[in-house]
Chain A
Amino acid sequence: MAKGKIIYKRAKDIPLNAMSVGSMLFNKTGAWRNVKPIIDYDNCIKCMICWKFCPDICIVIEDENPVIDYDYCKGCAVCVVECPKKCISLVEEGR
């Protein structure tokens, strides 16, 4: 499945039944973010509750740690509220 954004130039190339041939991963929703969640790994207990409740599937598990993929994090801050150790903080995006 294609990774980038697919743009058809000619009618003959378009799947006639409007069928998907690529994923939405080209759409870097991180650009929507106003605030940025940052995990304090010193206090993180790796409970993965932040991973569990992320609506944007942008907290990935790497070496048993939750890691935020800022390419896609929309900054909803559900993880900040749900973290039982309150170790995810929010900072303003600098744009």
Chain B
Amino acid sequence: MKQVIMGNHALSYGAMLSRVQVIAAYPITPQTQVVELLSEMCADKTLDAEFIKVESEHSAMAACIGASAVGARTFTATSAQGLALMHEMIHWAVGARLPVVLGNINRAMGPPWTIWTDQNDSLSQRDTGCLQFYARSNQEVLDSVIQMFKVCEQILLPGMIILDAFALSHTSEVVDVPDQKLVDKYLPPFHPRYILDPKEPHTFGGLTGPDGYYELRYKIEEAIQRAKSLINETGKEFGELFGRAYGMVEKYKLDDAETVLIASSTIASTARIAIDELQNEGKSVGLLRVRVFRPFPAEEIRELLQSRKKVAVIDRNISFGHEGIFAQEIRSSLYNCKNKPPIWGYITGIGGRDVTVENIKDIVNDTIKSDKPSGDIIWKGVRL
């Protein structure tokens, strides 16, 4: 059924349709509507779940971990400072191999206090082993929650659905809220083999020395690598059932474009209009959206970017002391390729500054015009 809903409610509906059993969350702007709606759903029994109103985000993830360890499907949502506070427990969910799913509203980190979007909060979780899907529409937010459970419960790792503060979280869009029966067909109940069960007692996470730890980490990498094909397969299956397919990346008018623009989140939505206009101007440009950041779509990047003339990457984030994080990941993916294109790494839109069609066109034109990048970082829109 089509409804006009904000991105935050798309997260709530995604969780509801996934039949989550335990929710633990703590309020933070701009996430609050996610948990407000879920509280109402639990209260009026449209969702048969326990909602633990915890005293911190750290405890939110910890409670989800406890619930997941007994075999319940669990969900939480947060943003920025809250995600940073969760960090230790995201590592814990990964190490304990518990498929907790969370929504994170991208919000810039303080200080100074701010509530507008950029990606530094979620990208700071890069090395935990938690999956990261960056959505570009409210529809994708809802669909990604359901897909994330399906993927995470097979590989036993947590996953994060990420959406821009305000640009998605508080913006209403038309969203097709799928039929519960169809979702049930797609997403089976969560029945992990090993749980905390007095009938079959095990200790989980006991002290492990150098003789065992290394292999456990190897197995996490093995699992997250497996997620790559699973994301493409389950995304395709999603398309067959619901008419909307998803993959690790999304191509837009890419074909044999000489210059490829790479973007993520809502910037990738705005970029579609920029690409349309640039193509109308006769320029050979196309768009590649990185939807899944962890696991990183290195194979797709290599396949789609080799032999292109130029690549422009937009980062709404910065790894201080180095460069934009998507640019960095794309460069390293291509490094061993024979025909690697030069990469222009642009940083823009930090702290929620608007990124318009004109801004994106300016970035692409800059790439087309220049022979080589002016530096590892090319700043756009910063008032120098």
Contacts and interface: CB of A to CB of B under 8 A. Distances in A.
Q: Do chains A and B touch in the complex (CB under 8 A)?
A: yes
Interface of A: 7-8, 10-11, 14-21
Contacts of B205: 17-18
* 9 cross-chain pairs, A with B, having the tightest CB-CB distances, nearest first: A11-B215, A20-B203, A17-B97, A19-B202, A16-B219, A18-B205, A20-B202, A14-B215, A11-B218
Contact of B156 (A7, A8, A17): A17
Chain B interface, DSSP helix/strand/loop, else mixed: loop
Residue from A8, A16, A19, A21 with most neighbouring chain B CB atoms (10 Å): A16
A8 B215 contact: yes
A21 B200 CA distance: 10
Chain A interface, DSSP helix/strand/loop, else mixed: loop
Contacts of B43: none
Contacts of B96: 17-18
Contacts of B223: 16
Interface string B331-368: 00000000000000000000000000000000000000
Contacts of A20: 202-204, 206
A8 to B, nearest CB: 7
Given A8-B212, A15-B194, A16-B97, 7 more contacts: A14-B212, A16-B223, A17-B205, A18-B96, A20-B203, A20-B204, A20-B206
A21 B204 CA distance: 10
A16 B156 contact: yes
Nearest to B96: A17
B219 A14 contact: yes
A18 B212 CA distance: 9
Contacts of A17: 95-98, 156, 194, 204-205
A18 B219 contact: no
B95 A18 contact: yes
Nearest to A17: B97
Nearest to A19: B202
Nearest to A14: B215
Nearest to A7: B211
